[in-house]
Structure 1
Amino acid sequence: MTATLITNIGELTTNAAADGDPLGTLHDAAVLIVGDRIAWVGPASAAHAAAALHRESASRGRERGNDPASRPPVEPSREEGFEVVDAGGRAVIPGFVDSHTHLVFGGERADEFEARMTGTPYAAGGIRRTVAATRAASDDELRARLRGFVAELHAQGTTTFEIKTGYGLTVADEERLARLAAEVTPEVTFLGAHVVPAEYGERREEYVDLVCDAMLHACAPHSRWIDVFCERGAFTPKESRRILAAGVAHGLAPRVHGNQLGPGEGARLAVELGAASVDHCTYLTDADVAALAGSSTVATLLPGVEFSTRQPYPDARRLIDAGVTVALASDCNPGSSFTSSMPLMIALAVREMGMTPAEAVWAATAGGAQALRRDDVGALAPGMRADLVMLDAPTRVHLAYRPGVPLVHTVWTGGAAA
């Protein structure tokens, strides 16, 4: 089993709350990775003794067929059995958890972006252009593009990510998008309820029937989640409730796109149905905020959308001060947020949404993990997946302080450096 000791870490963000610090910050720290898991986290001065203890425990376990819980440390051989990485005083954080993306699609919509920058307002109807381009693309074309986006995410420090369907909107096309997404992530969301496709015209009820029946049957085997765009120009609260209930009956867990284009029932619907997350949350009433604060539903904010559409940014400060759990995600998609950069989301959240750098980093890591109901990612503690990012910076604050600068030095995913 491979093992890596990362030592001389200037600032380590563990997200294991301690002494009033929700980010569990350690200075002059070290992390021991064994296999695909974090084995130990602590001060750099104790790193080699900890490594020796784990090496001895593993050795004795192999000899005796057990794994003793505790052995006294011995003087270690610094290199024997371990790859030692000297962080050189750099900061290390958990890998980003991007809980909202739309990465399987064909075509692009740069002309829409250009039009918005000259005053044309954003509308959900542009999704249908991507639907047409996606239907026309082959599996191999979509797969190649998807893998390119995944490489893009990894290069920017994202180690866990969700992918939604929603650009096929036929049974066969939605099924293949879910199947392709499942090749690269276990966090696949069935979003047949993205918009009503053009060929259904005024036959909305027929399309909702299709989503709840044949389309759901085809996509559920590849999916963990079901989502719905509960918004004007997309699906009504009544339609959304029916679609989400059908997904839950098929074993999928609910998520909601809501309150993006104006006030609506999306956030409260998400709370009512116990959804893991309601995403966008740009227009929230006091009642919406109170409902979220009293629930386990995460408010996932997508500042790349506001950057790209010139809509108002959500008020993260209001949510955090009310006790709502907040996550940040990229919403990477060709229409309203064609960026895969979680560092950019952090910078925008700090500059435009009232978050501190620490809050934004937590929301982009532990917050995203909560939005996906994952307890194995988003933090660095013994037993967690060894997903971590070394920054070419002395502190996580540089993610907001130096926007647009490539600060990712090394990424470990499941213990493997890339």
Structure 2
Amino acid sequence: MSTSLITNIGELTTNVGSPDGDCLGTLHDAAVLIDGGRIAWVGFAADAPDAAREADDIIDAGGRAVIPGFVDSHSHLVFGGDRAAEFEARMAGQKYAAGGIRSTVAATRAASDDELRERLRGFMRELLAQGTTTVEIKSGYGLSVTDEERLVTLAAEVTPEVTFLGAHVVPAEYADRADEYVDLVTGPMLDACAPHSRWIDVFCETGAFSVEQSRRVLEAGVAKGLMPRVHASQLGPGDGVRLAVELGAASIDHGTYLTDDDIEALAVSDTVLTLLPGVEFSTRQPYPDARRLIDAGVTVALACDTNPGSSFTSSIPFCIAIAVRDMGMTPAEAVWAATAGGARALRRDDVGVIAVGARADLVLLSAPTRIHLAYRPGVPLVDQVWKDGVAVAVLAAPATISGTENHGSLAR
């Protein structure tokens, strides 16, 4: 196997805590040795072992910053159609509510596997170009046994982090029969999707699924060997946080409206709160107070929630800039949340860090420090990306979006 040495790194973010309290484990004048897709050595460039100096490929970082690849722990990348008109209406004052997912469901059901696959792979290239090397992908735009199964199957072609989200919203054909739809989700649909999934999720929210229905979905998934995650407290306060903590969910996502009791419960649990700044940007809802959460001891992750309805961005750097500007996070906290925090939300210890034995997923920035991710918002600072030790092309063009636009009333 070939080896690569990245040296002359001005600022290296390892996310390996140090005795002085720096949870980002920052090293200056550093180097990283990659061997067979894993990190073989990390340290000061001057201390590089002989094996590093004899690497097959030596990359001079030129004093620039290197960070772990971003870990995006919440996305909805398999869908058909487009909802630009809905965004335009919302920017003109239309209220955000839960339910318009159904328009994307119709477009997704109408799309062929090849159409969905082509768009999905375009999004994956788009994510890599912006430094995201690990991504979780949810289903939820099929809402029938056949369509949910094909969505998780397509997602599994590009990531091991696949989430079955059949309980995204009640589809039109089950209007006023939500409990019957939950029977379908927890029965034939789960049977079909569980073999292709790692996670089970539910949208526990007014307009989607009640706490009782959400419990049924999550417990059925756990019984099938899937691990739980929960969408909750996006549109208003509710009991979703307490349900997530009670069931040992890896993460609760959104958390726009949290009570003091919610925060206290999260702070003493292993459940990560995944914040999704792109949603508040796109819906004009209030941004969560990340400062309050972090100060209370809650573990926070940042993710994009890429979806056509409420957050059509795939840029973690964009989310970092929002988190620093509008959510009270420091640049260091935001970078940690988008790397190590995302890894914790996926219960992973082999990504989100630059440490011996971890996957060699790294990002070289066109900047001297990670601060520039927030300091220079909107500027493409990702210079080079390594995924499993392999340098990947950084493409300037975004994924191609085509197809019939959907005129829905809302949602994800």
Letter of the aligned partner of 2:230 in structure 1? Answer: V
Q: 2:212 aligns with which of 210, 233, 238?
A: 238
CA drift at 1:81: 4.4
- The CA distance in 2 between the partners of 1:183 and 1:405, in whole Å, is 31
Specify the SS of the correspondent of 1:125: coil
- Displacement of 1:354 in angstroms is 0.3
Counterpart residue identity of residue 346, structure 2 = L
Do residues 117 (structure 1) and 117 (structure 2) align? no
Aligned to 1:102: 76
Give 1:306's match in structure 2, choosing from 276, 280, 287: 280
Partner of 1:61: none
Corresponding residue of 1:27? 28
- Mark the runs of 5 or more structure 1 residues left unpaired by the alignment: 55-77
Distance 2:218 2:107 in 1: 27
Alpha-carbon distance in 2 for matches of 1:29, 1:350: 26
Paired residue secondary structure (1:305): helix
AA in 2 matched with 1:276: A
Instruction: For 1:104 and 1:20, locate their aligned partners in 2 and report how far apart those are by CA, in whole Å.
Output: 40
User: 2:12 corresponds to which residue?
Assistant: 12
After superposition, the CA RMSD in angstroms is 0.7
Alignment of 1:97-246 (within 5 A): 97-246=71-220
Percent identity between matched residues is 77
Match of 1:44 in 2: 45
The one-letter amino acid paired with 2:6 is: I
Distance of 1:318 and 1:243 partners within structure 2: 31
Instruction: Provide the secondary structure at the position in 1 that maps to 2:216.
Output: helix
- CA distance, structure 1, for counterparts of residue 9 and residue 142 of structure 2: 46
Q: TM-score, normalised on structure 2?
A: 0.94
The offset of 1:125, in angstroms, is: 1.1
Q: CA deviation at 1:107?
A: 0.2
Give the 3-state SS of the residue equivalent to 1:124 in structure 2: coil
Q: How many residues align?
A: 391
Mapped to 2, the partners of 1:126 and 1:375 lie a distance apart of 36
Match of 2:396 in 1: none
Separation (CA, whole Å) in 2 of partners of 1:81 and 1:215: 50
Offset of residue 268 of structure 1:
0.9
Q: Which residue of the partner structure matches residue 58 of structure 2?
A: 84
Deviation at 1:53, TM superposition (A): 4.2
Q: Secondary structure at the match of 2:33?
A: strand
User: What residue in structure 1 maps to residue 362 of structure 2?
Assistant: 388
1:24 is aligned with what amino acid? G
Partner secondary structure for residue 273 of structure 2? strand
Q: How far does residue 82 in structure 1 lie from its aligned partner after superposition?
A: 2.0
SS at match of 2:34: strand
**Contact 2:5/2:55, CA 8 A, preserved across alignment:** no
After TM superposition, give the deviation of residue 342 of structure 1 in Å: 0.3
Query: Aligned partners of 1:11, 1:95: CA distance in 2, in Å?
Result: 15
- Aligned counterparts of 1:53 and 1:191: Cα–Cα separation in 2: 46
Rounded Cα–Cα distance in structure 2 between residues aligned with 1:87 and 1:402: 20
Structure with the larger RCO, 1 or 2 (CA within 8 Å, 6+ apart): 2
Deviating 4+ runs (over 4 angstroms): none
Counterpart of 2:304 in structure 1 is: 330
The alpha carbon displacement at 1:349 in A equals 0.3
Structure 1 match to 2:232: 258
Structure 2: where are the runs of 5+ without partners?
Answer: 393-412
Q: TM-score, normalised by structure 1?
A: 0.93
Question: C-alpha distance in 2, partners of 1:266/1:335?
Answer: 22
Task: Tell me by how many angstroms 1:205 deviates.
Answer: 1.2
2: CA distance, partners of 1:376 / 1:84? 24
Q: Compare 80-89 and 300-309 and name the one that shifted more.
A: 80-89
- How far residue 33 of structure 1 moved from its aligned partner, in angstroms, is 0.3
Q: Residue deviations 1:134-179, cap 9 Å, x none?
A: 0000000000000000000000000000000000000000000000
Offset of residue 204 of structure 1: 1.1
**SS in structure 2 opposite 1:324?**
coil
Deviation at 1:126, TM superposition (A): 1.0
Are the aligned partners of 2:75 and 2:137 in contact in 1 as well (CA < 8 Å)? yes
Q: CA deviation at 1:191?
A: 0.1
| Counterpart position of 2:407 | none
> How many angstroms apart in 1 are the aligned matches of 2:72 and 2:373?
16
